[in-house]
Structure 1
Amino acid sequence: MLRAAIGQIEARGVAAVRIADVAAALGVSNALVLYHFSTKEKLVAEAFAFAAEDDLARLRKLLGRRTSALRRLRAAVRWYAPTGQAKGWRLWIEGWAVALREPGLREVTQHLDRQWKAALAEVIAEGVAAGEFHCPDAMDAALRLTALLDGLAVQMTAYPGAVSRARTRAWVDEALARELGLDREALTSPPG
Structure 2
Amino acid sequence: MMRKAVAVRREEIVRAALAQIRSRGISGVRAADVAHSLDVSTALIFYHFGTLETLVIEAFRQAAEHELTKLNDELGKSGPADKRLRAVLALYGPSHHDNWQLWIEAGAAAMRDAALRAVLQRLDLRWRDAVVALIAEGVGAGTFRCADPHGAAWRLTALLDGLAVQVVARQGTVTTGDCDRWVEQAMAHELGC
TM-score scaled to structure 2, two decimals?
Answer: 0.89
Q: Is the 8 A contact 2:64 2:99 kept in 1?
A: no
Q: Which amino acid aligns with 2:107?
A: W
Q: What per-residue deviation string (whole Å, max 9, x for no partner) do you get for residues 4-23 of structure 1? A: 21111001110111111222
- Give, in whole Å, the separation in 1 of the partners of 2:153 and 2:38: 39
Map 1:112-123 → 2, pairs under 5 A:
112-123=123-134
1:43 paired with 2:39, answer no
- Give, in whole Å, the separation in 1 of the partners of 2:96 and 2:174: 17
2:118 matched residue in structure 1: 107
- Give, in whole Å, the separation in 2 of the partners of 1:170 and 1:138: 21
Provide the alpha-carbon RMSD of the alignment. 1.2
- Give, in whole Å, the separation in 1 of the partners of 2:32 and 2:153: 40
- Give, in whole Å, the separation in 2 of the partners of 1:25 and 1:136: 52
SS at match of 1:23: helix
Q: Is the 8 A contact 1:128 1:135 kept in 2?
A: yes
1:148 paired with 2:159, answer yes
1:7 matched residue in structure 2: 19
Q: Is the 8 A contact 1:4 1:25 kept in 2?
A: yes
List runs of 5+ in structure 2 lacking aligned partners: 1-12
SS at match of 1:162: coil
Number of equivalenced pairs: 181
1:23 matched residue in structure 2: 35
1:139 paired with 2:169, answer no
Identity of aligned residues (%): 51
List runs of 5+ in structure 1 lacking aligned partners: 183-192
SS at match of 1:49: helix
Residue 66 of structure 1 and its aligned partner are, at CA, apart by: 1.2
Q: Which amino acid aligns with 1:9?
A: I
SS at match of 1:66: coil
Q: Is the 8 A contact 1:81 1:172 kept in 2?
A: no
Q: What per-residue deviation string (whole Å, max 9, x for no partner) do you get for residues 62-114 of structure 1? A: 122011111111011112211x2211211111110010001111111111111
Runs of 4+, deviation exceeding 6 Å: none
SS at match of 1:15: helix
1:168 matched residue in structure 2: 179
Q: Is the 8 A contact 2:20 2:34 kept in 1?
A: yes
- Give, in whole Å, the separation in 2 of the partners of 1:119 and 1:52: 15
- Give, in whole Å, the separation in 2 of the partners of 1:105 and 1:148: 23
Residue 164 of structure 1 and its aligned partner are, at CA, apart by: 2.6
Q: What per-residue deviation string (whole Å, max 9, x for no partner) do you get for residues 145-169 of structure 1? A: 1110000111111211112332222
TM-score scaled to structure 1, two decimals?
Answer: 0.89
1:190 matched residue in structure 2: none
- Give, in whole Å, the separation in 1 of the partners of 2:91 and 2:130: 14
1:89 matched residue in structure 2: 100
- Give, in whole Å, the separation in 1 of the partners of 2:135 and 2:176: 25
2:9 matched residue in structure 1: none
- Give, in whole Å, the separation in 2 of the partners of 1:177 and 1:63: 21
Q: What per-residue deviation string (whole Å, max 9, x for no partner) do you get for residues 15-67 of structure 1? A: 11111122222232211111111111111111111111111111111122011
> Which moved further from structure 2: 51-60 or 156-165?
156-165
